[in-house]
Amino acid sequence: CFAPFLCLRPPQIRVKPDRTGVVTDGVKHSMNPFCEIAVEEAVKLKEKKLVKEVVAVSCGPQQVQETIRTALAMGADRGIHVEVSGKDYETLGPLQVSKIFAALAKKEQADLIILGKQAIDDDCNQTGQMTAALLDWPQGTFASEVTLEADKLKVVREIDGGLETIKIKLPAVVTADLRLNTPRYATLPNIMKAKKKKIVNVKPADLGVDVSSRLEVLKVDEPPQRQSGVKVETVHDLVEKLKEAGRI
């Protein structure tokens, strides 16, 4: 079981005039790139006959179904669409999503949850870790290599200092990093076949999850415009300018 995220892939983010968020209307939503890698890994495990079934899960409004279809076209067997829309969707964050995943994992009796390490719209990098904590499962995050050895999972993790290899017991949560694999294309014949695969609709309430947010967004602003630099001729000028600006 794994969970791709719907995320924004806008060319140019625009802050909404009321500063409560960014404009999402009409912007192409597509699968989070790290989640594409997660889907690919899950499908690879199935092709190696190491897992029996791959279930794609996503939380969000109606458009999310297209993303689940892409996962199905890549090789997932069935999909679960957890319906969250409107105001709830705008405030949906890692804590609520991980509660949903934890509930689903128990319901589906999943052995493995694979997701992208972080979403490229909010860059939180929290969902995988929170899900593992809620389930009290071991976690292998930032995975660049995953191997099944008997009933344990060997995960090579990308960390600041290099690569760390750990062995964790199943059931477990794994989050995918960039170098785990190269996702396959969802080809048109597979998209057509995916239309026949099942996607089940579920509401968070059905799973006993409260999606209200503990966070309140006060305002969203564009990053400040970068000021143009100033060229100086000599070191003396540089020191003068720094003194002028009160820096030294």
CA distance 168 to 154: 6
Note whether 120 binds other proteins by CB under 8 A: no
Shortest separation between residue 89's beta carbon and other proteins, angstroms: 19
- Binding span for other proteins by CB under 8 A among 52-60, 123-131, 189-197, 211-219: 189-197
For the bound state, the minimum distance from the C-beta of residue 58 to other proteins, rounded and expressed in Å, comes to: 17
Q: Which stretch binds other proteins (CB under 8 A): 149-157, 166-174, 186-194, 229-237?
A: 186-194
Nearest-angstrom CA–CA distance, 114 and 141: 10
Judged by CB under 8 A, the residue of 86, 161, 162, 189 near other proteins is 189
**What is the x/- site pattern for other proteins, positions 190-209, by CB under 8 A?**
-xx-----------------
11 lies in the site for other proteins, by CB under 8 A: yes
Angle between helices 64-74 and 33-47 (to 10 degrees): 30
Residues in touch with other proteins (CB under 8 A): 10-12, 14, 17, 26-28, 30, 182-185, 187-189, 191-192
